[in-house]
Amino acid sequence: MSKMGDWLKIDLHVHTTKSSDGLSTINEVIRVARNKGLNGLAITDHDVPFTEHIDNFLIIPGVEISTNYGHLIGLGLTVAPKKGINIWEAIDFIREHDGIIVIPHPFDRFRSGINDIAWKIPAHAVEVINAGTILNSANKKAEFLANKRNLGKVAGSDAHMAKLVGFAYTLIKADPDVDSILKAIANKRTKPCGKTYGVLPKVEAFIKRQIRKIR
**Residue 154 C-beta: closest distance to Zn ion, Å:** 13
Q: Which CB, 47 or 175, lies closer to Zn ion?
A: 47
**Residue 28 C-beta: closest distance to Zn ion, Å:** 17
**Residue 116 C-beta: closest distance to Zn ion, Å:** 17
Nearest residue to Zn ion, using CB?
71
CA distance 215 to 211: 6
Q: Which CB, 47 or 64, lies closer to Zn ion?
A: 64
**Residue 5 C-beta: closest distance to Zn ion, Å:** 26
Q: Which CB, 126 or 173, lies closer to Zn ion?
A: 126
Strand arrangement, sheet containing 190-194: 152-156, 125-130, 100-103, 71-75, 58-66, 40-46, 6-14, 168-174, 190-194
**Under the rule (CB under 5 A), what is the footprint of Zn ion?**
64, 71, 111, 158
**Residue 4 C-beta: closest distance to Zn ion, Å:** 28
Q: Which CB, 33 or 175, lies closer to Zn ion?
A: 33
> Partners of 66 in the beta sheet?
71
Q: Which CB, 68 or 187, lies closer to Zn ion?
A: 68
Task: Report the half-sphere exposure of 119 (CA within 13 A, side-chain side).
Answer: 6
CA distance 111 to 33: 23
CA distance 26 to 49: 13
Sign of the dihedral defined by the CA atoms of residues 214, 196, 122, 170, in that order: positive
C-beta separation of 59 from 193 below 8 A: no
